[in-house]
A and B are shown apart, each in its own frame.
Chain A
Amino acid sequence: DAEITQSPRHKITETGRQVTLACHQTWNHNNMFWYRQDLGHGLRLIHYSYGVHDTNKGEVSDGYSVSRSNTEDLPLTLESAASSQTSVYFCASSLTSGRGTTSEQYFGPGTRLTVT
């Protein structure tokens, strides 16, 4: 069965360290997204990609970067972790939409990141 996985599921790191969160999908979806979810803010888009070698900034991209070298993976890197980046991170993927509609997004199980 196709799926979307994230690793690690839990991570504790120190301020200033570089951290990479992995996201892998076997749906063969072109679109991939990274969100963070915090109490009082809901899901906020960090970065997204519409295909290999394509990356775009979302609403809260400062301090984060992504790269897309293949269809299946979109790793998220925190260049220098800050306490404000303590959050739950979700990766999602979707099909490229047809005319007039947008495909639903399938979410990974999430990564809980704590920056101390």
Chain B
Amino acid sequence: GQNIDQPTEMTATEGAIVQINCTYQTSGFNGLFWYQQHAGEAPTFLSYNVLDGLEEKGRFSSFLSRSKGYSYLLLKELQMKDSASYLCAVDPRDDKIIFGKGTRLHILP
């Protein structure tokens, strides 16, 4: 079976740091994606982790632990434009991607 869990909503303050967690149980695992989706728009690619550890890309970092079935997306120095949904998605090894339901992040001034 396939199960991907992430919080439905989170709220954070402009300038702060927020961590969005994702746990997964899937039959087959190659890597994990994070996508950003602003309201009314298409998802856009943020990161892809294959190996355990932290990968940093500017204000955004993504972490993966394959043994624990766990990932997180870390957003630093939050800006109002970071208000969006963040989608955790598992790559089960066959060019398809299985998406979680997404975490809606609200940024307060």
Q: Which residues of A contact B (CB under 8 A)?
A: 31, 33, 35, 40-45, 48, 50, 58, 90, 94, 96-97, 100-110
Q: Is B48 an interface residue (CB 8 A)?
A: yes
Complex interface bits, B36-70 against A, C-beta within 8 A gives 1, otherwise 0: 00000111110010100000000000000000000
Q: Which residues of B contact A (CB under 8 A)?
A: 30-31, 33, 41-45, 48, 50, 87, 91, 93, 95-102
A109 adjacent to B48 (CB under 8 Å): no
Residues of chain B contacted by A40 (CB below 8 angstroms): 101
Residues of chain B contacted by A41 (CB below 8 angstroms): 101
Residues of chain A contacted by B42 (CB below 8 angstroms): 90, 107-110
Residues of chain A contacted by B30 (CB below 8 angstroms): 100-102
Residues of chain B contacted by A108 (CB below 8 angstroms): 42
A105 adjacent to B97 (CB under 8 Å): yes
Cα separation A97 to B97 with both chains bound (whole Å): 12
A16 CB, min distance to chain B CBs, angstroms: 29
- Closest A residue to B2 by beta carbon equals A59
B96 adjacent to A48 (CB under 8 Å): yes
A109 adjacent to B45 (CB under 8 Å): no
Cα separation A97 to B33 with both chains bound (whole Å): 14
Cα separation A44 to B42 with both chains bound (whole Å): 14
Residues of chain A contacted by B31 (CB below 8 angstroms): 101-102
